[in-house]
Structure 1
Amino acid sequence: MAYVSSDEHVENGGARRVLLAGPRSFCAGVERAIEIVEEALESRGAPVYVRKEIVHNVSVVGDLAGRGAVFVDELDQVPDGATVVFSAHGVSPAVREEADRRALDVIDGTCPLVAKVHAKARRFAGRGDTVVLVGHAGHEEVEGTLGEAPESTVLVETVEDVRNLSPADARQISYLTQTTLSVDETAEVVGALRERFPLLHEPASEDICYATTNRQKALNAIIGESDLALVVGSTNSSNSVRLVELSRRQGTPAHLIDSAADIRPEWLEGVRTIALTAGASAPHHLVTEVVTALGEFGPVSVEEREITRETVRFELPSALRGDTDPSADGSTS
């Protein structure tokens, strides 16, 4: 499709190209988390409390808040007996215990892929391992995973952190990763772990989620022919920030934007081709609005570049399905 305006800003005539990376925007875990809050509002009625942001996107949070969701930092802000949703990033056992003690009506929005990392942390620690968690300090997902086995888990962010590790037994060490990391940078850290600890126990499958990996691969496929990358996402969205970093590492200027209103005209000066993508927690409509906004700076042509089609879907938790079978809370295709 092509969007045309009368603005003659584009140098040398013709349309500025916009390459749409695909996949982009919502992943299955984000869609599930949002639907959980929507269903809770429908079945329980407002207010429904949500611990932390349900997903890291200001547009999504603002929309749900306008419909009756109340976002809180901690459970002490939730009235006794009220309905509370745990965010997609997961929580520690200590948070669950507090919710049980306060008789809160809990609906768990934890992404099933994050829940799998939590299960691995418990299993690895249970067999006596020092569990090395590769991730970003302070991120909600990391805090939840650390809480699964706090006495056995150590956080590393860089190769230098790996060099400074001093586990009790180098023969009993395993690793996990945050689900929203840079694939390339994580490979460097894991490589350092393998080199330093030859007996390192590795997870049977990668913890970086399919959506994070796919969005990085999709952007990587178009960044070489682009003069600028625009990533739709919020500043606290780890996977969105990683996309900006990926572009900049390859020498292509990149900007993280919450919406079309954030675009600055000076970014587009001399730019003929724009790579456009969105983090896994950014709504699809925001990308469409960015394309429309770019058309106001001169004629643009839009080209879809999809590297794969995502078919993963996650069931709603049993608390919203009216059944008691927790085994059905996994993925379907």
Structure 2
Amino acid sequence: MAIKNILALVVLVSILGVSVAISFPNLDLNYYKSKCPDAEGIVRNVTEKFVVPQKSLAAALLRMHFHDCFVRGCDASLLLKSPTKNAERDAIPNLSVRGYEVVDAAKAALEEKCPGVVSCADVLSIVARDAVLVIGGPWWAVPLGRRDGRISRKSEANLPSPFADIATLKKNFTDKGLSVKDLVVLSGAHTIGISTCGLVNPRIYNFTANNGPDPAMNPSYVGELKKRCKPTDSSTTVDMDPGSVDKFDIDYFKAVAQRKGLFVSDSALLNDRQTSRYITTQLAFGGIFSTFNKDFAESMVKLGKLEVLTGNNGEIRAKCGSVN
């Protein structure tokens, strides 16, 4: 279903349980109401044009938003290019980030309609939301008014690692003002994610002293992964949520519960009382009774508020890849 048709059903949001609070310090749901009234519609149309024919972009754009917000806050610093390859996007965790063309296209369309008004940080926040919506995920109201940062350093791209244990992950999130619940909920974004064998092979080959796989993984799952990922293969892709990668649902939590989490950081969610209880609860509710969509919407709003620049701070870039 086209996004414009889905959004016509927003009146049902509260009934479906995906509404979120509407009070955001320094940000405003109606920020562009007079400055660029159709800003969200313009971004929505561009996002739909890219994501409908290529569903995997939804996960890529969601990941881009997360990687941007976790470093220097949601200021679009990830989008900046560096002639010396020393910006955030040049750091190893960001080399596989993709979807820049979607944000650039949305920004270009906005510049034609409302030049110098909408920030790249806001564009990325809206694109991430609309990309999730295209594939059947929840809708949430995006508070707006972010401004773009002028600094992007490769050395600062310290993102949560796919090899992190639960204690490290909890610290990563709480250091940013996000809760343990946000950690498990946002990990649920892996329901539409993919990885490469390069990140998987360390778990299925030579993980233990006797060259065995990670004992935290389901042995049958290890066998399946070995068929797809040969020891020297670093580029073949693997679904984070086997059998349901194009659908935003709770199947990722099913996989984790069955010890089929692809990353160490996925399996680690079973090693904490609060995160494991959340997974168990979602699976017990199942289907329409799950609170995952509502929880995801709320956590995404919190993520989108991290260390934002507003007022006279930062700038409104003309192009997302370079400062003015």
TM-score over 0.5 (shorter chain): no
TM-score normalised to the size of structure 2?
0.27
Question: Highest Rg: 1 or 2?
Answer: 1
Q: Which has more strand, going by share of residues? A: 1
Q: Which has more helix, going by share of residues? A: 2
